[in-house]
Amino acid sequence: MAGTGVFDADAHFVLPDGRQVVAGEFHDPLSGRECCLIETVPDALVGTSAAHGLLTEFARTSFPGAERVLVRLGDRAAEIPGFRDHLYYVRLDAPPADAAERPADPRVRPAAERDRPKVAGWLDRAFRDAMTAVADDPAPEATAAQAAAVAGHPDARSFVAECAGTDIGHITLITGQFDALTGRDYIELLDMLVEPDHPARSAAERRLVATAGAFAAAAGLPLIGHVVCGAPPARTGPAVLAALERRGWVFDHKYQTFDLR
């Protein structure tokens, strides 16, 4: 799971047919794209043949600089015709069943100041991979700058997995998050990456998620992460979502997208 930023829109607009949406502008710091973010769409409009034209025309008119439209939907089966799934948001309400396990290796520890460059490097890789998955051209200087900013952010909490004395991956959380649409406080799982060829990868991922789940549970908050769906034909999102649900995660909401230009 990897992410590029917190989405938030809070202005009310009226569509040409009189229905209301909540929308705003979102600047993607990695791609540099300006986006129209539509946080609410009337239920009666979702899935209809009119939805695509109304929403894209609204975006072009209300946000003339927008290159992309993002629409939030609360039902995994909901669709805006002509749009594609972009991100799935998933929620963990309680630590995984194996949270109490404490194997000797891999071991998970809170990241220290000395770990910041390494964590930033893992974040940079994750951001570049996410951009490639959605067919955006990652700008190395942009992903590196965003990774360094996240690693040094005061609300970031990172944990490092190590095996036989070698650091093999991390999980990075962002505390103090608030979803204005639902009025919910939460902790964001921004990214998790474990070296893909390491034999302890699966065990390390389980331990990292268990640690993050326990951290969120201790704060009395849900842990929310997101899955990059990927651009066609490499649509990996549904398979990843299904695997996460088998591990106790719950679908929360999703974003669909359409490129205006």
CATH code, domain with 184:
3.40.630.30
Q: What is residue 215's three-state secondary structure?
A: helix
- As a whole number, mean pLDDT of residues 147-175 equals 97
Q: Does 99 score more than 80 pLDDT? A: no
- As a whole number, mean pLDDT of residues 152-167 equals 96
Q: Determine which of 4-18, 39-53, 164-178 has the lowest per-residue pLDDT on average.
A: 4-18
Q: What is the mean pLDDT of the chain?
A: 90
- As a whole number, mean pLDDT of residues 83-93 equals 95
- As a whole number, mean pLDDT of residues 141-170 equals 95
Q: From CA 161, how far away is CA 71, in angstroms rounded?
A: 35
Same domain for 69 and 133: no
Q: How confident is the model at residue 3 (pLDDT cuts 50, 70, 90)?
A: very low
Q: At 187, list the tokens.
A: 């902790």
Q: What pLDDT, on the 0 to 100 scale, is given for residue 94?
A: 85
Same domain for 142 and 160: yes
pLDDT > 70: what percent of the chain? Answer: 92
Per residue in 51-64, pLDDT (tens digit) is 999 999 999 999 99
Q: From CA 99, how far away is CA 84, in angstroms rounded?
A: 35
To the nearest 5 percent, what fractions of the chain are helix, strand and coil? Answer: 30, 35, 35
What is the domain range of residue 220? 91-254
Same domain for 232 and 112: yes
Same domain for 190 and 100: yes
Residue 6 lies in a domain: no
Structural domain total, the chain = 2
Residue 261 lies in a domain: no
Nearest Cα neighbor of 228 from 151, 135, 123 is 135
Q: How confident is the model at residue 35 (pLDDT cuts 50, 70, 90)?
A: very high
Residue 259 lies in a domain: no
Q: What pLDDT, on the 0 to 100 scale, is given for residue 103?
A: 60
Same domain for 66 and 168: no
